[in-house]
Structure 1
Amino acid sequence: KRLKLYVFNWRLLFLNSNYLVKNIMKNKLFLLLCFLVFCSHDMYLKLETFFLEPQQKSSIHLYNGTFDKSENIIDRDRMIDVSLTGQGQRNVLDESQWTEKDSITTLNFTSGDEGTWVAGVSTKPRQIEMDAKAFNKYLKHDGVTDLLDYREDNELLEEDAIEKYSKHVKAIFQVGDVRTSDWNTVLGYPIEFVPKRNPYETHTGDTLSVLLLRDGKPLANQLVYANFRPSLNQHSHSTEQMHSHDGDQPHSHGDENDEHAHNAKESTHGHSHDAQAQHSHDDSQNHSHAEIDEHDKTHSHDTQKNAHTHSQNDTVHRHDDTEETKDNEHEHTDGQLLRTDNDGLVNVKLSADGIWYLRTIHLVPTKEEGLTHESNWATLTFEIQHAHDTKDHSHELETEIPSYVYWIASGLLIVGLFFWFKRKN
């Protein structure tokens, strides 16, 4: 009897401790979920510099997170197209050219002949299920305000969502000095930006018109966010000096990273989170707002790799598999707030030197079986520099006086002194 009682007490203690541990873990998970920020993962193609030399060994980084920091990598089987277009040819890239490091997926390649080139990556659709509160917060955080207003106007804020999402990103870079027409290449993605002018024939202070296509047709009345980050090629001046290129609109090359703008219609300052200006979202196997891929691999709201859970109303609508805390809290609506016109065009004011990026999320209700919404994400990146011509780019005149002038002046001075002393004596 004593032995049975002894065993029974130990079993009871074990069950109680197990229950206690589970509850502690649940509470920790709850606290973790409460501290998770809304961090849906945009995707960008970035280069250290978008100006390359011909036949130069180069790298394109695929960021999944924000423009400044990549939260996780993108798996190969997630990509349905990876291509480089230049000299009128579209080249599909080999899987072996990709590497991963520090949550960044990197494409290593050798630049081709001189010309303007386009890089593109398109991902397969994934789907994520969210409760109503999480979905509404996600819409607000990522600036999908049209759909949020629609839900509010039609009393749909209490409806949960099952969203299918995919991402389609482009970068335009310049090799050598020759400009070619490849910049206007349409890659045929479900959604994509196509500039109406070669970005490398524009300069700081110009306005660039960009066309937004949805299934190959102009997409009207769509919100677009445009912003920039200072680049390695930036022409730096002190913060007190203004540098004018067109006489009327001087722009400063000082600390352009100081402003952390949110929802600013004409903000030209970056939303910077670190000195390296790398903030991104990546792709792994979960569209998780806590794991590796996004709105990118499995859209999960916890830290389990393939979990797709929404047990808490405060869970983050993340499009990746990384776990985030308050330290990384940020908005995705910084920069210029634009809207396409009836022809699908937006006009971006290129207000400063740097790497510019456009982003949009076309998220709409769908009647597809098993889904409530479908979203297609698009970004475009390129680099802008100011013009260097003698009319607009004026510095102090720095003429050097020829040495013979000094010799002549010295001779004249000596002769003058000689006659002056002679006359005086």
Structure 2
Amino acid sequence: MAEPARLGACFSAMRYRTREAGASGGSLMKIGRRVLLTTAALTVAIVATARAHTMFLKLESFFLEPHSTNVVALFNGDFDESENHITRDRMLDVSIVGPDGVVHPPTEAWRDTAMFHWHADSVDTALLTFETGSAGTYTIGVSTAARVIPLTGPEFNEYLVHEGLVDELAEREAAGKANDDAAELYSKHVKAIVQVGDDRSGEWAEELGYPVEIIPLQNPYDLVVGDELQVRFLRAGEPVENALLYANYEFNAHSHDETGAHNEAVEARTNADGVATIPLVGGGRWYIRTIHMVETPSEPDLDYESNWATLTFQIRGG
């Protein structure tokens, strides 16, 4: 078993901060459009499927005991099933923030497994083994390096529909770009709020400095079914107005409508302060997700940059 990451008072209070990536692929890389789109013709079936995956941090239970060994899964697919694993070289930051301080687990604390696809050499989920410290409310975060993906116009539109990016789809149509191919730089940044023991602490509000973050404005573990959770969505540390957030919980079965878009329990827009209200209509494990996408006119080899964010937690009653 991998050596668990330990939380203790001696750990540094270091925080991840957005930084320019180098050879790892986090910068707006200069890749020729002709090469990208030619390659896409051969690989688009595989790449397009991989591109549509949302990333989540998920535990069997988000209620843990102090000073206990636990496992958190990094899903890359949907909330019910991970389709492929995230390799360690893509992880720019892994942080666990609790009342005793911050720890950045070593690579050896991760392992890969096949939780959903059982065939030779198949792995679909990355698992992190860690230990809790003192009782309190913890934040766990993972931020990934950016990658570029080329898609044809119809494929890009289908992806926008599938992920609920209705504003971006409307903008493409209004600009007469609906049939245009698209090269997109994307990265994913995910957080989980975990309750350890009975005592509450303030780490649920921790900002990790990721390119995008969903920050709860209340401790989810002070809430019950029927309450509302307010969250603030940040891009580069600043509130984003009119961002479209989606939320769902495990007992509202994952499905899609006739267009292929996700059916989810909650759809909410952020106000001028970047705040959205999520009604907690059921108990169990929850997620909130959004994708911040912008055009990149100053980048000749790219059309869009997207940053994906999710927040997961659990509400008693499920």
TM over 0.5: yes
Q: Pick the aligned partner of 2:147 from 126, 140, 143.
A: 126
SS at match of 1:45: strand
RMSD of Structure 2 on Structure 1 (CA): 2.4
Distance 2:256 2:184 in 1: 29
Question: 1:133, CA displacement in angstroms?
Answer: 1.2
Q: Pick the aligned partner of 2:190 from 169, 178, 182.
A: 169
Match of 1:90 in 2: 102
**Cα deviation per residue 1:180-201 (whole Å; 9 max; x = unaligned)?**
0010000000000000010011
The list of structure 1 runs, each at least 4 consecutive aligned residues, that deviate by more than 2 angstroms after superposition, is 36-39, 259-263, 329-335
Q: State whether residues 284 and 317 of structure 2, in contact with CA within 8 Å, keep that contact through their aligned partners in structure 1.
A: no
TM-score normalised by the chain length of structure 1: 0.59
Between the two proteins, what is the percent identity of the paired residues? 44
Cα separation, partners in 2 of 1:261 and 1:332, compared to 1, 3 Å: closer
Question: 1:330, CA displacement in angstroms?
Answer: 5.8
Q: Pick the aligned partner of 2:220 from 179, 199, 203.
A: 199
Distance 1:363 1:158 in 2: 18
Match of 2:57 in 1: 45
Q: From the two aligned structures, give the one with the greater strand fraction.
A: 2
Q: Pick the aligned partner of 1:344 from 274, 277, 280.
A: 274
1:119-158 → structure 2 map (5 Å cutoff)? 119-158=140-179
Partner amino acid for 2:281? Answer: S
1:9-408 → structure 2 map (5 Å cutoff)? 33=45, 40-87=52-99, 89-102=101-114, 103-230=124-251, 257=253, 260=255, 262=257, 331-366=261-296, 367-386=298-317
Cα separation, partners in 2 of 1:330 and 1:52, compared to 1, 3 Å: farther
Partner amino acid for 1:49? Answer: S
Q: State whether residues 63 and 105 of structure 1, in contact with CA within 8 Å, keep that contact through their aligned partners in structure 2.
A: yes
Structure 1: segments with no counterpart, 5+ residues: 1-28, 231-255, 264-328, 388-425
Moved more, 198-207 or 36-45: 36-45
Distance 2:268 2:83 in 1: 27
SS at match of 1:68: coil
Cα separation, partners in 2 of 1:110 and 1:33, compared to 1, 3 Å: closer
Distance 1:62 1:37 in 2: 18
Partner amino acid for 1:189? Answer: Y
Partner amino acid for 2:214? Answer: F
Moved more, 114-123 or 338-347: 338-347
SS at match of 2:79: strand
Distance 1:166 1:381 in 2: 18
TM-score normalised by the chain length of structure 2: 0.79
Q: State whether residues 54 and 113 of structure 1, in contact with CA within 8 Å, keep that contact through their aligned partners in structure 2.
A: yes
Match of 1:246 in 2: none
Partner amino acid for 2:67? Answer: Q
**Cα deviation per residue 1:18-74 (whole Å; 9 max; x = unaligned)?**
xxxxxxxxxxx99x959x979700000000000001111100000001111001111
Q: From the two aligned structures, give the one with the greater helix fraction.
A: 1
Distance 2:66 2:98 in 1: 12
Distance 2:185 2:53 in 1: 14
Question: 1:334, CA displacement in angstroms?
Answer: 2.3
Distance 2:255 2:162 in 1: 15
Q: Which structure has the higher relative contact order (CA within 8 Å, separation 6+)?
A: 1
Larger radius of gyration: 1
How many pairs does the alignment contain?
266
Question: 1:332, CA displacement in angstroms?
Answer: 3.3
SS at match of 2:60: coil
SS at match of 2:262: coil
Distance 1:160 1:261 in 2: 25
Q: State whether residues 125 and 166 of structure 1, in contact with CA within 8 Å, keep that contact through their aligned partners in structure 2.
A: yes
Structure 2: segments with no counterpart, 5+ residues: 1-40, 115-123
Distance 1:330 1:96 in 2: 38
SS at match of 2:213: strand
Distance 1:177 1:262 in 2: 40
Question: 1:132, CA displacement in angstroms?
Answer: 1.1
SS at match of 1:211: strand
Question: 1:136, CA displacement in angstroms?
Answer: 1.0
Q: State whether residues 262 and 334 of structure 1, in contact with CA within 8 Å, keep that contact through their aligned partners in structure 2.
A: no
Q: State whether residues 38 and 138 of structure 1, in contact with CA within 8 Å, keep that contact through their aligned partners in structure 2.
A: no
**Cα deviation per residue 1:355-394 (whole Å; 9 max; x = unaligned)?**
110011111101224211100000000000149xxxxxxx
Distance 1:365 1:111 in 2: 41
Distance 2:91 2:250 in 1: 27
